[in-house]
Structure 1
Amino acid sequence: MDPKLIVEIINVPENFDKEKLNDLNNSGISISYANSYINNTKNPIKQHIDYFIIIEDQLSLMEVFEIITSIRKNEQGLIFLLVEPEHEQQKLFYLKIGADIIVKIDETWEVLKYMMLNLGRQKIYEKTILTKNNQLVLNDYNLSVTIAGEEVFLTKNEFRLLRLLNKTPNITISYREINEYLWNKKDSTQVANIANIVFNLRDKLKQIEGADHYLVTVRSKGYMLNISEKSKERL
């Protein structure tokens, strides 16, 4: 049996016909609901989300901007934005800030359903990029790391930081190098932001027994991925 596509629907109006959404749930698509995504960044990611559906209804332009940019910062799932017909002139703005597909809110859900199913079918045939060493497996498709057979889902920046450190294990990567890699900035190093990403990443790795030793802080310099024979014995 093929796995269901995971869809999170954001800002569902109280008077919205949820029967339309239940039809999605019965067609190989598993749906959940959220009032907003902005605060979700503080919570551990428990599963990879394939699609986000944002219903523009009564959201301001700034609220839509904040939701989309928050998702883009942490996730790789496609973003569908459902808009009122009179707001279509804002389509270019929404595309520029990260929405992938703009759909009129009165479009038939059959159209939306088959768009997602067809895109999901393409994903199945895409080659998943796996980066492996003798202890970690990094999966670019769902932003996860697997250690000793246990998979943990990461945010976009957590995953990218781990991938950077994994390129040269046991070698310190400086704050400046991390800063340039994550944000493409050379002028100001965001040490506090990097430390926050590392803190959250360590917290997630603690879910796997024996994996809390991987991220090493090199005082005043940066961070290192600790891959050693001793580490292998612990796993």
Structure 2
Amino acid sequence: MYKILIVEDDDALCSKIKDRILKWGYHVVSIENFENILEEFAKYNPHLVIMDINLPYFDGFYWCNKIRAISKVPIIFLSSRDNNMDIVMAINMGGDDFVTKPFSMDVLLAKIQAILRRTYSYGENEGQIIECEGAILNINDGTMTYNNEKVELTKNEFRILYLLMKNRGKIMSRTRIMRVLWESEYFISENTLTVNVNRLRKKLEDIGLKNFIITKKSQGYMIP
């Protein structure tokens, strides 16, 4: 089921859009905290965003830019202004489509369906990010972002973090991690895994994520 996030501060319009989309079988969530839209986006990890331009605190262009730093998810802009500059800005900021208010719900729904088909035509429905307590792992470019700080990860660092974040709260044994990294534990030493984990921890600490990965003695590693 596709997940759609609505970023619209007009409660009546938001409810109208939400009700119509729900009838077509999509999962829909609307933003409640307009001060921290990026955090809610990361937690929900939608397949498509409907973004109003005129919002409290920061406008839709600002939040589009923030989302684009961590995700390529499709964004449809909504606006009561139909001047060419807004349309140009929306597209240049990374928007995928632009709908001028007032609009037909049928037109909006058609645009949603078309973009979802175009974007996920090969069944790539898995989210492009994984979020954990405000830390965001970007699957597309192998980076970790926390409090607007981003760190580049090596291939092995990314695989370790991906496994631990996907299995948050569970202990991942050293053997299992080594199998994920190198297919079989026989191709790598215990010391090499330790070096990789320590290097990853240092990178995470540099962006403020201290004790993000913990060691369970004689068992393995986990993210609590």
Could you say which TM-score interval applies, normalised by the shorter chain? 0.5 to 0.7
Q: Which amino acid aligns with 1:143?
A: Q
3-state DSSP class of the match of 2:108? helix
- Give 1:143's aligned residue: 128
Question: How many residues matched?
Answer: 177
Alignment CA distance shift 1:30-1:90 (3 Å): same
Aligned mates of 1:212, 1:37 — CA distance in 2: 40
Q: Does 1:54 align with 2:51?
A: yes
TM-score normalised per structure 2: 0.58
The gaps in structure 1 that reach 5 residues or longer are 129-138, 146-152, 171-197, 224-232
TM-score normalised per structure 1: 0.56
Alignment CA distance shift 1:86-1:103 (3 Å): closer
CA contact (8 A) 2:129 2:139 kept: no
Q: Does 1:27 align with 2:8?
A: no
- Give 2:143's aligned residue: 161
Shift in Å, 1:109 = 1.2
Shift in Å, 1:126 = 2.1
3-state DSSP class of the match of 2:143? helix
The gaps in structure 2 that reach 5 residues or longer are 145-151, 178-195, 205-219
Alignment CA distance shift 1:19-1:156 (3 Å): same
CA contact (8 A) 2:31 2:37 kept: no
Q: Does 1:111 align with 2:110?
A: no
Alignment CA distance shift 1:37-1:210 (3 Å): farther
Aligned mates of 1:16, 1:46 — CA distance in 2: 23
- Give 2:97's aligned residue: 101
Alignment CA distance shift 1:98-1:36 (3 Å): farther
CA contact (8 A) 1:8 1:32 kept: yes
1:1-235 matches, within 5 Å, as 3=1, 5-16=2-13, 18-35=15-32, 39-42=36-39, 45-57=42-54, 63-126=59-122, 128=124, 142-143=127-128, 154-156=136-138, 160-161=142-143, 164-166=153-155, 204=165, 207-211=168-172, 216-218=197-199
Alignment CA distance shift 1:13-1:123 (3 Å): same
CA contact (8 A) 1:143 1:159 kept: no
Report Cα offsets for 1:156-182 as digits up to 9, x if no partner: 279613795226899xxxxxxxxxxxx
3-state DSSP class of the match of 1:211? coil
Shift in Å, 1:17 = 6.5
Aligned mates of 1:106, 1:71 — CA distance in 2: 25
CA contact (8 A) 1:75 1:155 kept: no
Aligned mates of 2:158, 2:120 — CA distance in 1: 31
CA contact (8 A) 1:202 1:212 kept: no
Aligned mates of 2:75, 2:42 — CA distance in 1: 17
Alignment CA distance shift 1:59-1:90 (3 Å): farther
Q: Which amino acid aligns with 1:108?
A: S
Alignment CA distance shift 1:202-1:9 (3 Å): same
Aligned mates of 1:66, 1:17 — CA distance in 2: 20
